[in-house]
Structure 1
Amino acid sequence: MWSEAGLDTATLLLFPLLVVLPRGVAVLVSAAGLCAAGLVLSVSGTRLTRILPVAAMLLGCLLLWGTASALWSVNPMRSLVVATRLAGLFAVGLALGAGAGVIAAPRRLAFLLLIGMALGIAMVAIELATAGSLTALVSTRAYLPTQLNQASISFALLILPASALLISLGQAIFATLLAVLTAVTVYELAGTAAKAVLLAGLAMGLLLYRARPVVAGVALAISVVAIIAAPLTFARLERLPGLGEAADSFKISAGHRLLIWSFAGDRIAERPLTGWGLDASRAIPGGDDPIRPGETWMPLHPHNAALQVWLELGAPGAVLFALLVALVWGVLAHVEWPPLFAAAAGASLTIAFVGCFGTYGIWQEWWLGTLSFSLFLVLVMGRVASRQAAPGKASGSRGLESVVHRATK
């Protein structure tokens, strides 16, 4: 079926594209979303989980509020343009969520993900060894190590679920090899955020493996509080004596990040209920004023999802964002996956959540696309792991050839 073949192709190309042309991920994921929608529509009697309509309702409310914010936005046209883009991205994410449950050959798709990750790791090695020779084939921009930051955090997102899947298939050696190679790749790259979130995810995964319902419930509560209280916490970190200097000594961009958050907190206090308008961060009054050489108060966005939602959409947007995050943690607490895979999926969720609080703009197309496609891949891998663990199923094979054979069925 063309739709499933399209999803297979998108899965295989994800990591190679992240290495050489990360901004193209939005197009790749959009095409995958269309394939997923076609797959769902082609399968008769498809039953959607109760979670999907709830997620659709929350995303719809967020989209409506963001569109309405154009009425008071400091950049109304920008707000409308971004609202239109988000409508498509949200639809793609929902289609992928629905499509994950009706994939006819989940093993094949999971195997193609593993191949894609291996290709991505090899391409990263070539990029580092040749100072960007692969990127030069598709871009005229001068090579910078930071161009691989998107690939780095994406590797971090999926390394643990992919490794857990291999273990569930009886491939502990290959799981270890994949985990080690991917971790080395992440730590060889320039992105500091990917290194930090991978450690956070690993720690959370260990806790979830011991007591998933309790730990997921605590994570849910902490996540909601972190979002709702962001203007009173993240925005005030810069005021702590010595923290700014310590952040600067660690990495100059870290100290700048604290100043950005402080500025965002001041602007949030001016419009706490309505915000300044969807994606209006780049047009916030005073945002272009210089702080230090080469640094301004608001370079495009706050680099913190909670502060960005508060700044642009006010309290209603923050509440909707918190409810979405709570929904995902709530599902993780009770999903019927094997314990190891569920813990790895929770680690991936932690990486995504922490990454949103310190890296990219929350409305960036490539980032939303990567998050939604990663969720799709985790859901598909969860099906494979669950089938393997189900009673009456044969135990995992002891050779990679058997995995290849099953994956192609």
Structure 2
Amino acid sequence: PALVFGYDAPLLALACALLAAGLVSFFPFMGPRLLAGLSAGGFLLAPVLAKGAFALGLDERLSPLLSESWLQRLGYWSKAVEWIWARPLPGWGLDASRAFGPGIQLHPHNAPLQIWMELGLIGAVAAAIVWASIFSGLSRPVRTPAAAAAAAAATAYLVFGAVSFGVWQPWWLALGALSALACILVLRARPIDV
């Protein structure tokens, strides 16, 4: 469906998930820790990275290559960065991004920027701790297919959250919870003796 309808986010999430699974498969101890650092850094540095990208004019250079939906996302991200820097420590309040129209429709379509915008530095630190804990908890002394699958699922969730969905959408949170539950069950499963 992603290819037929021209959706880029699922393909990006799939590619990143496969990379994460490969990393955890080949480096079962350090791979998850690297993913932990990358995810935590992504949440902590999101406004700085976005502001730097806009300052370098990357959005203007990429805009001729992007579809309308990606151009809208760039606009949302630019507005979110402005509002983040206006109140970086406390943020604007839970689900406040819905009040920042017309610059942002509903939410910024980027989980780290939405967390920063609404919950400020404290929210970003909390999100970084949660995601670093999830990934570092997958670290194993030996290769484990279940850990690779869990890393892939978590990475796909993060990538989709970074380009598409609002953080507080109930169905999105439910999908994350069900995915986490499935990963926990697979990670704790014991082989059946026949």
Normalising to structure 1: TM-score of the pair? 0.45
Distance in 1 between residues matched to 2:94 and 2:52, nearest whole Å = 23
Whether contact under 8 Å (2:111, 2:166) holds in the other structure is yes
Pairing of 1:295-334 with structure 2 (within 5 A): 297-334=103-140
Quote how far apart the aligned CAs of 1:190 are.
4.3
**Aligned residue in 1 for 2:166:** 361
Distance in 2 between residues matched to 1:187 and 1:324, nearest whole Å = 33
Quote how far apart the aligned CAs of 1:242 are.
5.0
Whether contact under 8 Å (2:20, 2:35) holds in the other structure is no
**Aligned residue in 1 for 2:23:** 207
The 3 A distance-change label for structure 1 pair 380 and 248 is farther
Distance in 2 between residues matched to 1:247 and 1:373, nearest whole Å = 36
The 3 A distance-change label for structure 1 pair 250 and 210 is same
Distance in 2 between residues matched to 1:281 and 1:235, nearest whole Å = 18
Q: CA RMSD in A?
A: 2.1
Uncovered stretches (5+) of structure 2, i.e. residues with no partner: none
The 3 A distance-change label for structure 1 pair 339 and 367 is same
The 3 A distance-change label for structure 1 pair 200 and 362 is same
**Aligned residue in 2 for 1:241:** 57
- Aligned partner (choices 374, 377, 380) of residue 179 of structure 2: 374
Q: Deviations over 1:222-244 (max 9, x none)?
A: 11111111111124423333543
Distance in 1 between residues matched to 2:17 and 2:151, nearest whole Å = 8
Q: What is the number of residues matched between the two proteins? A: 194
Q: Deviations over 1:51-97 (max 9, x none)?
A: xxxxxxxxxxxxxxxxxxxxxxxxxxxxxxxxxxxxxxxxxxxxxxx
Quote how far apart the aligned CAs of 1:186 are.
4.7
Whether contact under 8 Å (1:248, 1:254) holds in the other structure is no
Whether contact under 8 Å (1:236, 1:265) holds in the other structure is no
Distance in 2 between residues matched to 1:387 and 1:186, nearest whole Å = 36
Uncovered stretches (5+) of structure 1, i.e. residues with no partner: 1-184, 289-296, 395-409
Paired amino acid for 1:387? P
Q: Percent identity?
A: 31
Whether contact under 8 Å (2:28, 2:143) holds in the other structure is no
Whether contact under 8 Å (1:238, 1:259) holds in the other structure is no
**Aligned residue in 2 for 1:218:** 34
SS at structure 2 position matched to 1:333: coil
**Which gives a bigger RCO, structure 1 or 2 (Cα 8 Å, sep 6+)?**
2
Q: Deviations over 1:209-259 (max 9, x none)?
A: 000221111111111111111111124423333543424523122122122
**Aligned residue in 1 for 2:191:** 387
The 3 A distance-change label for structure 1 pair 247 and 339 is farther
Pairing of 1:125-204 with structure 2 (within 5 A): 185-204=1-20
Pairing of 1:252-263 with structure 2 (within 5 A): 252-263=68-79
Normalising to structure 2: TM-score of the pair? 0.90
1:250 aligns with 2:66: yes
Whether contact under 8 Å (1:247, 1:255) holds in the other structure is yes
The 3 A distance-change label for structure 1 pair 344 and 249 is same
**Aligned residue in 2 for 1:282:** 98
Whether contact under 8 Å (1:220, 1:326) holds in the other structure is yes
Q: Deviations over 1:73-129 (max 9, x none)?
A: xxxxxxxxxxxxxxxxxxxxxxxxxxxxxxxxxxxxxxxxxxxxxxxxxxxxxxxxx
Whether contact under 8 Å (1:304, 1:359) holds in the other structure is yes
Quote how far apart the aligned CAs of 1:325 are.
0.7
Quote how far apart the aligned CAs of 1:304 are.
0.8
The 3 A distance-change label for structure 1 pair 191 and 337 is farther
Quote how far apart the aligned CAs of 1:367 are.
0.5
